[in-house]
């Protein structure tokens, strides 16, 4: 059974990651979730633990007796890593090789393909530095699923919405 590591970052689109996880599991994948601290403000680790039946990784400093170095073991287990939603902050960290939390250390240790599903405000998505960071990650082999267009949580309208969870699951399955 293939293992998909789903990385969830801190944005309102985090609630859609629950639907993504369920869809991936329906497709026969084993799913493990890694969350940033900010993501836990939107959806609790308990939600993902209940959906997957797997422990949820949230901290480099958690006592994880079943794993010698948890971010390394998660990275090694991953057949595909998908970041959904992925904030501008995490895109920037990865583009510059920063690894200061459980999610970024796991991604940087992974040899599996990484799929990024960004979600952020339209202005943030279009900002030159974000465009450059996305380009840098694409050049390094990261795959991107373009964000959707429509009404955003902040009231703006434009691109930046997390892509439909089924579209993300299709990309994972294709990988």
44-102: pLDDT as tens digits = 999 999 999 999 999 887 755 555 667 788 888 999 999 999 999 999 999 999 999 99
Catalytic residue among 62, 69, 153, 154: 154
pLDDT value of position 68: 63
Residue with tokens 């329906």: 26
Assess whether 154 carries a catalytic annotation.
yes
For residue 62, the 8-state DSSP code is S
**CA 53 to the chain's CA centroid:** 18
Residue 103 pLDDT grade (very low, low, confident, very high; cuts 50, 70, 90): very high
Radius of gyration of the chain (CA): 15
Residues 172, 149: Cα–Cα separation, whole Å = 21
140 pLDDT above the threshold of 60: yes
Sequence-distant (6+) residues with CB within 8 A of 154 are: 121
Residues 81, 99: Cα–Cα separation, whole Å = 16
């Amino acid at each position: 059974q293939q293992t998909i590591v789903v990385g969830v970052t801190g944005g309102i689109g985090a609630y859609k990651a629950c639907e993504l996880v369920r869809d991936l599991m329906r497709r026969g994948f084993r799913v493990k979730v890694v969350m940033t601290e900010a993501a836990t403000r939107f959806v609790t680790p308990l939600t993902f633990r209940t959906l997957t039946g797997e422990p949820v990784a949230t901290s480099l400093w958690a006592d994880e007796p079943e794993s010698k170095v948890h971010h390394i073991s998660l990275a090694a287990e991953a057949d595909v890593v998908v970041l959904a939603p992925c904030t501008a902050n995490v895109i920037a960290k990865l583009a510059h090789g920063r690894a200061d939390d459980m999610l970024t250390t796991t991604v940087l240790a992974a040899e599996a393909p990484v799929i990024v599903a960004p979600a952020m405000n339209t202005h943030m998505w279009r900002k030159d530095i974000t465009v450059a960071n996305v380009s840098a990650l694409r050049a390094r082999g990261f795959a991107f699923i373009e964000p959707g267009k429509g009404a955003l949580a902040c009231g703006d309208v434009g691109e930046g919405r997390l892509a439909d969870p089924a579209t993300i699951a299709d990309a994972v399955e294709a990988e």
